[in-house]
Structure 1
């Protein structure tokens, strides 16, 4: 079996799994200085875009293509490449299709999509000037495109809105939901979908604290919230997107309103994947490989589900004991260190809350 992987930044997360499956790995990357280029069997440096990877896939006669892209801008090009390669060359590409990417890459279209399928989302309006605002403060101002908290502002008064419009001509404005932030991964392939356990990412703040700076835990335990509701809603969203790969969804739960709100959905690997793996034993990136080699199935995932308490803590630079090889695998470790130097995080798991607290004391 030979698989083409597109993008090297995330490849070290699955290199151990690819080798364990005796898969011949081919990788394309546009940056010759990128990390992890020493790991695959073959590496091809290609121009930006999807024409280079497509040509390498045909030249190498690969059996499948797995994009490992964790940012939004290239996703639409990947989607168009997927449709062409699958139709003309019968090579499966484990990624979202054009419709799914178009619906999820623009926050305004995502809002409209939620309303079409009957999923509750915070009230919103499109502002072309501050004077059009009709929602009560505080409100959240966003741009249609962007990720990782980019171009998001929590406005507490009209001066904040006017300040935002000094930089932007338009804004997606939605009501600020006071409550719990939740993330969940859904895996989908060939019309089958499975929602993994939800992850708790902390409480909303008027300061707009970035998720990377918060302590997160799994599974999600929020008083009054039924995790089955989160999983059912996430499944409904993925089913209606009708595409392949990883769907990462963000929700808010308001205890005051006893309401779950859908915020956004991404069709790419996400920042909570380590915590999901630690919590339930299912690694979403490894499942992309399973999709490519024909080993993805809902019964298989059900048989492999585990139940752990887990947490993810930002630590800057990790100086604790070294994890076992492979260092990115929870199959050999009860903790994984990830992220660039200066911004590292540690994700750890245990069979009880007390065991987890003791483990964290040893590590940090």
Structure 2
């Protein structure tokens, strides 16, 4: 396996700048996920590491060697795409063997590598089937098997689960995570689904508009987002961001909503002055219905069984609560909110940066 080091990487299409001086280090054997909204540049970055996109500026090094000028086939990487890209006229065995045959390996070596990968992925009984005879999940495993047999330095995944149904996605997430643990391989995984990144990755790179907003472990990003964008992007349902103005009270600084309700009291050590515009970040699970507190009106109630997800209107701003159990609430019902202020986040109202 190998480290991957990206330094001041730039990508432009004419006057359009897609990646803007990207710096990131992927550790040997690490599972790193690139996440962000559509158009943020995550797939472009992955394709540049793979050698499928030209570099406009900066360097990419794999295992200490700068690979800017190397063709994709010479970088010792393997890529698993969103569409499985299997050869329809070849069996599973032939699909997995093809790249090894192109490398000139002996039939004995090819058979050994294919058998080993098939055993890891549970494909032993499917080796003589054609892609059309398999389910989507089985085809995705074949695509991964085709990468594994090559024993590359780095595995690259470009949204490999997006074509699968919800239940199969959960199963495949677990399988890929287990595969990483067994192979101890360096993996870079692109997804727009932050839940995939949260449950699978050692570290996550959050991107927006061609720049990196934050890099950290899943729980670091969840508990200490660097700005309001990361706070709202990581977590499902998303973090509530309530626009407020800071005011002074007899007990210290408070956050006041547009409807002149006190949303929360701030620690006296908070470095914000009265009149400052802020965004209060509150995770849906850190809100409760209480006897006293800021008032809101219920908009939608969504029971899921063990929890109830409630959408409410707080002075013109839509917020989400995740309540334990089955909450007997109805549309337009007035409720009072209780906020776990110890888990509350505070962001600058103009820059979005964490305060």
Query: How does the TM-score come out when normalised to structure 1?
Result: 0.26
More strand by share: 2
The structure whose Rg is larger is 2
